[in-house]
């Protein structure tokens, strides 16, 4: 069964997501992410646990002064202490002091946790659930109840697990959220238990699952199919241990696969941007292979695949990438076919290339990749190969000779110097330069030689320089691959070189970088 209602998306990136090892967000970071989530159109943004640390308290103080367009800011906390009441409980007070319009309260469902962790009676646990939620409700707060370890608790003692939900409902919870806190339940277990709970308790249900069995998204989707009306999770699946249900998969699965709305109309296309923004603020590299929002989610490498895609974009894509704000990409490698290169030529605006030119470039790529080159992440080098095979293309410069030396000089320490001889528009330039290292010296010497005719080279900035050893068993004689990223006026391109000599590999990538930049400048 699938509900006809719009599913509420409850984002807990700022609370549960920050429990991931390696994530630490400042109060300002959390506000920036919250604004993005609000733009996306989620229903609830769980800002943190205001009673646990100063940063979360700061977030709620800042959030109170912001006019949110779509989301309700939610504060998270636990039930009051055992053998006590909520009216003088520090945690309950912190929830109220946060001024959040919605409070999410977590309580114990599993008898093991009641008796061994809380060390109280089963009846007292029911009391503190009902009274904690009831007190917050009396203080004019909307209340959501997170039934911690619900599925483990249900498997252990179904009757008691249901009684905890009834206690929360009596206390005024608007939604009873069933939590797979240890993340080990299987989809068929989630399906059966959610269906049983829905039959036993006539109350709106939510789902909150962790990913320890790699089933969090599937478990969330199956719970919605069984009638849950709220899906909790995090952007990019961040969370403790193996993470939480990844909203970047849950949301498009609901909207595109099940036809169940969960965001304002037209907002799904913001998902790619939100996923990458959150990764950037969290100082984590985006997962390129993540479904829907990964850079490689709609990347096509195999020649047969690309040939089919050129005839029908539906042939190897399950959805239109634009629906989630992503885009289709064609990757060039030794596995490529003619279609890959034709697509690249179109992408880079290189005009029409004939069959002979395509065959020549394809053979060159296959030969170079057998020597250690990799063109998947160096698309500018591919574009240059295509241009160089066109009869009317004239390279902006031709390298004649280069040399680079590195030595230690007394009183000065390590020293690098390079000389470059290039031909530019029929004129020979022979320049030398010092540098912090041999690659920097070569870069500086080449720029000196080209400045006379190409002053725009001053806008080219080397942004990244990666070196990979390809056959480490060869020791210092190993082949080396160099990847260079260059930026200029908001544009970014990548080039590659490979050789058993790291200087030669670097020069190849560096020369391609400059040539492609000049091609861009004059296009």
Gap between the Cα atoms of 41 and 27, Å rounded:
21
Gap between the Cα atoms of 168 and 164, Å rounded:
6
Could you tell me the pLDDT band of residue 351, with boundaries at 50, 70 and 90?
low
What pairs with residue 487 in β-bridges?
A: 461, 492
- Widest Cα–Cα separation across the chain: 92
Record the tokens describing residue 193, joined without a space.
Answer: 């238990």
Record the tokens describing residue 335, joined without a space.
Answer: 């596995």
User: Tokens 């005839």, residue?
Assistant: 311
Q: pLDDT of 1-39, one tens digit each?
A: 555 579 999 999 999 999 999 999 988 899 999 999 999
Q: pLDDT of 90-138, one tens digit each?
A: 999 999 999 999 999 999 999 998 989 888 899 999 999 999 999 999 9
Question: CA dihedral in degrees (297, 298, 299, 303; nearest 10)?
Answer: 130
Could you tell me the pLDDT band of residue 167, with boundaries at 50, 70 and 90?
very high
What pairs with residue 480 in β-bridges?
A: 469, 499
**Dihedral sign (CA 223, 225, 226, 227):** positive
| Model confidence at 314: pLDDT above 90 | no
What pairs with residue 408 in β-bridges?
A: 414
Q: Which domains does the chain show, CATH number per domain?
A: 8-281 (3.20.20.70), 299-388 (no CATH), 398-521 (3.30.160.270)
| Helix 158-171, helix 187-200: angle, nearest 10 | 60
Alpha carbon distances (Å) from 397 to 35, 143, 367, 446, 515: 48, 69, 24, 10, 8
Gap between the Cα atoms of 470 and 472, Å rounded:
6
Gap between the Cα atoms of 216 and 420, Å rounded:
57
Gap between the Cα atoms of 336 and 332, Å rounded:
6
Using alpha carbons only, how large is the chain's radius of gyration in Å? 29
Alpha carbon distances (Å) from 339 to 352, 356, 378: 13, 14, 18
DSSP code for 210: B
Please enumerate in sequence order all residues whose Cβ is within 8 A of that of 100, keeping only pairs 6 or more positions apart, or say none. Answer: 47, 50, 60, 63, 73, 74, 75, 141
Neighbours of 151 (CB within 10 A): 26
CA angle 104, 107, 109 (to 5 degrees): 135
User: Helices in 41-120 by DSSP H: which ranges?
Assistant: 54-63, 90-97, 111-112
Tell me the percentage of the chain whose pLDDT exceeds 70: 85
Burial (CB count within 10 angstroms: exposed 0-12, middle 13-18, buried 19+), residue 357: buried
φ and ψ at residue 293, rounded to 5 degrees:
-110, 0
Could you tell me the pLDDT band of residue 333, with boundaries at 50, 70 and 90?
very low
Residue 369 contacts residue 334 (beta carbons within 8 Å)? yes
Gap between the Cα atoms of 261 and 93, Å rounded:
36
Gap between the Cα atoms of 441 and 434, Å rounded:
5
Residue 387 contacts residue 395 (beta carbons within 8 Å)? no
Record the tokens describing residue 269, joined without a space.
Answer: 């296309």
- Arithmetic mean of pLDDT, 213-231: 98
Whole-prediction pTM: 0.74
**Between 313 and 273, the higher pLDDT residue:** 273
Record the tokens describing residue 209, joined without a space.
Answer: 């699952």
Gap between the Cα atoms of 424 and 394, Å rounded:
11
Residue 268 contacts residue 322 (beta carbons within 8 Å)? no
Lowest mean pLDDT: which of 93-107, 189-203, 240-254, 486-500?
Answer: 486-500
3-state secondary structure 415-478: EEEEEEEEEECCEEEEEEEEECCHHHHHHHHHHHHHCCCCHHHHHCEEEEEEEEECCHHHHHHC
Tell me what pLDDT residue 368 has.
Answer: 62
Lowest mean pLDDT: which of 120-129, 130-139, 228-237, 288-297?
Answer: 288-297
Residue 27 contacts residue 62 (beta carbons within 8 Å)? yes
* Sheet of 427-435, strands arranged across: 398-409, 413-424, 427-435
- Arithmetic mean of pLDDT, 281-310: 77
User: Tokens 């004239």, residue?
Assistant: 394
Tell me what pLDDT residue 132 has.
Answer: 97
């Amino acid at each position: 069964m699938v509900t006809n209602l719009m599913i509420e998306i409850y984002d807990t990136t700022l609370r549960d997501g920050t429990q991931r090892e390696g994530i630490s967000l400042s109060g300002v970071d959390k506000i920036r992410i919250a604004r993005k989530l609000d733009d996306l159109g989620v229903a609830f943004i769980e800002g943190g646990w205001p009673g646990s640390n100063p940063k979360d308290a700061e977030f709620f103080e800042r959030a109170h002064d912001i006019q949110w367009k779509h989301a309700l800011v939610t504060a998270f906390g636990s039930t009051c202490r055992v053998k006590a009441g909520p009216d003088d409980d520090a945690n309950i007070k912190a929830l109220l002091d946060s001024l959040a319009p919605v409070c999410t309260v977590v309580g114990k469902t599993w008898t093991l946790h009641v008796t061994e962790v809380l060390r109280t009676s089963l009846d007292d646990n029911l009391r503190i659930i009902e009274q904690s939620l009831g007190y917050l409700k009396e203080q004019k707060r909307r209340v959501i109840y997170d039934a911690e370890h619900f599925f483990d608790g249900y498997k252990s003692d179904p009757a008691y697990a249901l009684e905890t939900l009834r206690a929360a409902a009596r206390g005024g919870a608007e939604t009873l959220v069933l939590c797979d806190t240890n993340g080990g339940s299987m989809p068929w277990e989630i399906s059966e238990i959610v269906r049983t709970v829905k039959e036993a308790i006539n109350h709106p249900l939510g789902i909150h699952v962790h990913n320890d069995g790699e089933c969090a998204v599937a478990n969330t989707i199956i719970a919605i199919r069984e009638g849950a009306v709220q899906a909790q999770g995090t952007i990019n699946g961040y969370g403790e241990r193996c993470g939480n249900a990844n909203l970047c998969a849950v949301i498009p699965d609901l909207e595109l696969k099940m036809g169940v709305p969960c965001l304002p109309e037209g907002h799904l296309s913001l998902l790619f941007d939100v996923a990458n923004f959150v990764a950037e603020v969290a100082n984590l590299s985006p997962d390129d292979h993540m479904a829907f929002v990964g850079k490689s989610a709609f990347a096509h490498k195999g020649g047969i695949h690309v040939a089919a895609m050129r005839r029908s974009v539906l042939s190897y894509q399950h959805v239109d990438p634009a629906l989630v704000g992503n885009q289709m990409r064609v990757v060039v490698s030794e596995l490529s076919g003619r279609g890959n290169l034709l697509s690249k030529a179109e992408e880079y605006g290189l005009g029409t290339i004939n069959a002979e030119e395509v065959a020549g470039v394809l053979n060159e790529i296959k030969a170079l990749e057998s020597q250690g080159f990799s063109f998947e992440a160096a698309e500018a080098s591919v574009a240059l190969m295509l241009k160089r095979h066109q009869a009317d293309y004239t390279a902006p410069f031709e390298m004649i000779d280069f040399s680079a030396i590195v030595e230690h000089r007394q009183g000065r320490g390590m020293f690098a110097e390079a000389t470059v001889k290039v031909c530019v528009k029929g004129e020979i330039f022979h320049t030398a330069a010092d540098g912090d290292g041999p690659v920097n010296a070569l870069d500086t010497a080449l720029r000196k030689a080209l400045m006379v005719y190409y002053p725009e080279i001053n806008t080219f900035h080397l942004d990244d320089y990666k070196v990979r050893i390809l056959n480490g068993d060869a020791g210092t004689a190993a082949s080396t691959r160099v990847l260079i990223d260059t930026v200029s006026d908001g544009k970014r391109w990548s080039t590659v070189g490979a050789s058993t000599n790291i200087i030669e590999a670097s020069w190849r990538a560096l020369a391609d970088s400059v040539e492609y930049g000049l091609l861009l400048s004059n296009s």
